[in-house]
Amino acid sequence: MKADRQFGEELDVMDQKNSEDTGLNRREFIKGAVAGSAALATGLPQILEAEKAAPSSRPYAELRSLPPGAIKPEGWVRLHMEGQARLASALPEISYPFFKGTFWEGEENSPAWFTWEQKAYWVDGATRLALVLGDEALLVKARASLDYTLSHPSSNGFLGPKFLEFGDDFGGLNRWPNTVLNRGFMALADAQPTPDKVDPEKIAESLQKHYLNDQASYISGTRNITNLEVILWCYERTRDRKLLEMAQKTWDQYMKDAEDEVAAAARAATNGTVGRRRFSMHADLARSAVFADTPIQSHGVSYAEISKLPAILYLYTGREDYRKFVVAAQRRIFDHHMLIDGIPSSSEGYAGTTALDEHETCDITDHAWAWTYVLQATGEGVWGDHIERACFNAHAGVTRTDWKGFQYFGSPNQFLANLNCDHGTERWFGSRRLAYQPNPAQLIGCCGGNGHRFFPNYVLSMWMQTKDNGMAATLYGPSTVTAKVGSANQNVQITQRTNYPFEEEILFEIKADHPISFPLSLRIPAWCNAPHIKVNGVSVGSVLPRNGFAILRRTFKSGDVVTLNLPMNVKSTEWPNNGIGIERGPLVYALPIETKWTSVAEAAYSSEDFPTWEANPLGEWNYGIALDPANVTSQVEVKQKHYEQNLETSAWLWSDAPTILTVPARKLEGWGYETNPKEPHQRFTPHLPDPGSLKVSDQVERLTLVPFGATQLRMSIFPKLNG
Ligand SMILES: [Zn+2]
């Protein structure tokens, strides 16, 4: 009781107004649409408010991300990234021409725009990876394209090849590859300390000239509008109000055009003149569709990249209609397309939510990146929950644990991952997209570069600054952050010691030269209903998070230790076709299928050191889970062991996870692989069976499940049998 009195009043909550403004209930979405129109009509006064707030950057951000270099990965996070850095470093040497070529380094001949996109993905990812790890050799490689491009502007200031400046293979002015590359400039200029021979002001001024002189329309073109992300970064750096006005006008016109497209499509359907397009020209982002919460008719990457833009606009303008829009746009993803591993089906358009729906690896990176902006705009911890879920399940689940390869498409159930087993849509059926490859490609190799953006961006968002000069732990994992806090902007260092998400306890060790008073916000995931916090071993009493955070307001001194405990409960989830999934905390669990790995060095795609990997199943998988859904906790057994945090000696957590589960299951006779009638030897992961058509064993066995992210061949959505 003494403990409660001592620290209880220190626990605070984040501003409740936020949760009322951006909460995920339907009435609020409808209200949002109305409020949005009103704010659009009033427009500019809110820009002026942002101007007054200078020099504070992103004045309306509820949470503000830190520069590359402020957060250092430790423990399993560092091990994971070091494996990734070895592959990222090798990629330009692997023979796939679009990495080996001198794209963004003087090359002008190209078969298509996507060559520039995929090299740029790699440049941005490798730059961020190098900055986060402090890997100077990788930074030299990654910077070659950035340094060349910056030092070779056209007479107009355009940064990039003439191939893009004056047109592309589709005849328009395609500016999407510029967005992808320019994010590398953003990371390089923001990095602390500033790397050798980097001039952040020159980068910002060069981009300012590039955008203000460019003759391209940022409203037309499939993804030209994505440049708003860089334009707004450039506004923050240069304070050139023309950039902010350009971004707002472009977005507002894009919204109008998107609505016009919907109206034109409705007229055409009525007249019977035009069939339905597969994808909307405006990524299906018309306000009417977004606030009606309809299923999305769009390419996943386009939607993720464009739908996030109002969150960034909000950071600089505080226009509430922007924030309402972005939350509503994300809601459609969760309501209609979300797969069990935390990323929506996207092969390459959004699809269903079955055990066999797939997502492109680019979509893992791009959706999580989008949510980092939503987190900053809303200050709601639930966006951290979403990013973690994507990280620990979808991202880890498409990656070999040794970082020797990853997939183009990944799926909740994948019993095979070879060069001809893609069970996805007709378009990709039988393709190589499920195989694990250093550069997962089949002509287009976007994921090979983009896959390297995910994890550095995760680390860059693990900590954020709060509006009141405090720190927020936004994503968990072993790491150390250094930042300025409190009214006097004093340095503090906070180290997270933890094996999370494999364990429930996270220690925060504070280091500071002098005692500092600042608010420390700890994200309380929505899945956790009994969080517990101690300061120097003494409980702070009951924790009542608001907006997904608990806040400790106190004077911290060097050596203070805050302990956060996030008890993880087991639960089951339901999926189409009588499917059931098992989760515990942020981790989805899966049946790992014993695998025979074979590798081949393919001239076009891989090398001797980084070959193409095929995974074929040796083990059995034909089981259903026999659980009583009302009584899951007592029927699922949790087995845990503890690893010491020691980089030299600790086992690799993803290949030997400390927490495993056992569940009651029964064998299903007659459930086998599906085959290609024209090629009987070509096998595919089967659909979930109709339980009535199979013989269910009388014998109950205990199946061992491991974290989804620890598996390459797996079943994570099981046939549901009676308990
Ligand atoms: Zn891709």
pLDDT tens, residue by residue, 60-116 = 999 999 999 999 999 889 988 999 999 999 998 886 777 778 899 999 888 788 899
CA of 448 to the centre of ligand 1 (A): 7
Tokens for 690? 């109709």
CA of 367 to the centre of ligand 1 (A): 12
Give 15 or 273, the one with higher predicted confidence. Answer: 273
CA of 57 to the centre of ligand 1 (A): 32
- 594 with 713, same domain? yes
pLDDT value of position 236:
96
CA of 310 to the centre of ligand 1 (A): 24
Give 44 or 488, the one with higher predicted confidence. Answer: 488
Residues whose Cβ atom is located within 5 A of ion ligand 1: 360, 362, 446-447
CB environment 463-488: b (16+ within 10 A), e (fewer): bbbbbebbbbbbbbbbbbbbbebbee
Q: How confident is the model at residue 364 (pLDDT cuts 50, 70, 90)?
A: very high
CA of 449 to the centre of ligand 1 (A): 8
CA of 363 to the centre of ligand 1 (A): 7
- 591 with 517, same domain? no
31, part of any domain = no
- 558 with 654, same domain? no
CA of 711 to the centre of ligand 1 (A): 21
Domain of 489, CATH number, reads: 2.60.40.1180
Mean pLDDT of 658-674: 94
Distance between CA atoms of residues 370 and 450, nearest Å: 14
Tokens for 117? 């996109």
CA of 78 to the centre of ligand 1 (A): 24
488, part of any domain = yes
CA of 535 to the centre of ligand 1 (A): 44
pLDDT value of position 29:
31
Is residue 199 scored above 90 in pLDDT? yes
CA of 331 to the centre of ligand 1 (A): 23
Highest mean pLDDT among 263-277, 598-612, 647-661: 598-612
389, part of any domain = no
The answer to whether the beta carbons of residues 413 and 717 sit under 8 Å apart is yes
Rounded to a whole number of angstroms, the distance between the first and last alpha carbons of the chain is 43
CA of 104 to the centre of ligand 1 (A): 19
262, part of any domain = yes
Q: How confident is the model at residue 31 (pLDDT cuts 50, 70, 90)?
A: very low
115, part of any domain = yes
Residue located via tokens 């809303």: 378
The answer to whether the beta carbons of residues 653 and 76 sit under 8 Å apart is yes
- 533 with 681, same domain? no
- 561 with 607, same domain? no
CA of 452 to the centre of ligand 1 (A): 11
CA of 361 to the centre of ligand 1 (A): 6
- 620 with 550, same domain? no
663, part of any domain = yes
Q: Of 541, 565, 589, which residue is a domain's last?
A: 565
- 592 with 554, same domain? no
Distance between CA atoms of residues 470 and 522, nearest Å: 11
Is residue 22 scored above 50 in pLDDT? no
Q: Which residues pair with 661 in a beta bridge?
A: 638, 705
CA of 338 to the centre of ligand 1 (A): 18
CA of 7 to the centre of ligand 1 (A): 49
CA of 125 to the centre of ligand 1 (A): 13
Q: Of 210, 244, 276, which residue is a domain's last?
A: 276
CA of 454 to the centre of ligand 1 (A): 12
pLDDT value of position 169:
63
Q: How confident is the model at residue 269 (pLDDT cuts 50, 70, 90)?
A: confident
CB environment 39-66: b (16+ within 10 A), e (fewer): bbeeeeebbeebeeeeeeebbbbbbbbb
∠ CA 714-719-721, nearest 5°, is: 135
Domain that holds residue 179: 96-276
CA of 9 to the centre of ligand 1 (A): 49
4, part of any domain = no
Number of domains into which the chain is organized: 3
Mean pLDDT of 582-592: 97
Give 172 or 575, the one with higher predicted confidence. Answer: 575
- 254 with 151, same domain? yes
Is residue 268 scored above 90 in pLDDT? no
Mean pLDDT of 238-246: 96
Mean pLDDT of 167-171: 69
CA of 685 to the centre of ligand 1 (A): 22
Strands 505-511 and 490-498: antiparallel
Is residue 53 scored above 80 in pLDDT? no
Highest mean pLDDT among 106-120, 165-179, 410-424: 410-424
- 701 with 606, same domain? yes
CA of 650 to the centre of ligand 1 (A): 33
- 548 with 644, same domain? no
Nearest Cα residue to 317 out of 672, 601, 606, 39 = 39
pLDDT value of position 55:
41
Q: What is the mean pLDDT of the chain?
A: 88
Tokens for 179? 């967005």
CA of 446 to the centre of ligand 1 (A): 4
- Burial of residue 35 (number of CB atoms within 10 Å: 0-12, 13-18, 19+): middle
Mean pLDDT of 404-409: 94
Least confident of 223-237, 284-298, 574-588, 683-697: 683-697
- 583 with 640, same domain? yes
Is residue 2 scored above 60 in pLDDT? no
How far CA 688 is from CA of 577, 623, 665, in Å, comes to 7, 11, 15
- 114 with 172, same domain? yes
Is residue 13 scored above 50 in pLDDT? no
75, part of any domain = no
CA of 351 to the centre of ligand 1 (A): 16
pLDDT tens, residue by residue, 610-646 = 999 999 999 899 999 999 888 899 999 999 877 765 5
Q: Of 219, 245, 276, which residue is a domain's last?
A: 276
CA of 285 to the centre of ligand 1 (A): 21
Classify 704 as helix, strand or coil: strand
Distance between CA atoms of residues 302 and 625, nearest Å: 37
CA of 658 to the centre of ligand 1 (A): 31
Looking at residue 439, the DSSP 8-state letter turns out to be S
Is residue 673 scored above 70 in pLDDT? yes
